[in-house]
Structure 1
Amino acid sequence: MFGIGGGELFFILIVILMLFGSDKIPEIARTLGKGMAQLKNATNEIKHEIQKGAEESGLDMKSLTGGISEEIASAKESMNQAINPVELQNPVEEIKEEFENLSGPIKRQM
């Protein structure tokens, strides 16, 4: 969550508790929740207006984004083939199987 670890989050909560006191924290959380809900509603309204305007002008948003998604998927596939050719995958799998076969009897003895 935003690059904040558990210890850091705990420290931030302790500082907030010391600054505002236990009676103000629920009010602050409620205000932040309402603000986040208003922000979410505003972004949803903007998205809806953009889609509505596109439909009125005759643009199909799904076909526009679908073409882009297909191009991105095609580019990812070609990059994966260039970086990890099929010839390298088979030896790795063979080595993995050989290692499992060798370590299997050792694991069973323990």
Structure 2
Amino acid sequence: MKRILLILAALAAWQHWDRLEPMLLGNQQQVAEHREVILYATSWCGYCAKTRAFLGERGIAYTEMDIEKSADARRAYDALGGRGVPVLKVNDTVIHGYDPQGILAAY
């Protein structure tokens, strides 16, 4: 029974590591405040909606740029090598498409 509880606790910690890490590594929280996340997307894109939901579930603040409504957003998207949506820029890392593991790794 103890093994099962230990395994369940380890799985829960692994699943929620993004929430536990700031509590365990207090000095890293200041670094998190300076992260810049920009989502280049469209209103009709299903994967853009999934990316919005993913970021929202994890409490990751982001700025959304609609590449169809803003010429500046489109230019920035093109400069990043945009070849589909969503494109996410986390500080200096560019992520093409819906990639939850890539987002967390870059964040």
Common topology (TM > 0.5): no
Higher relative contact order (CA 8 A, sep 6+): 2
Structure with bigger gyration radius: 1
Which one has a larger percent strand, Structure 1 or Structure 2?
2
Under a length normalisation based on structure 2, what TM-score does the superposition of the two structures give?
0.25
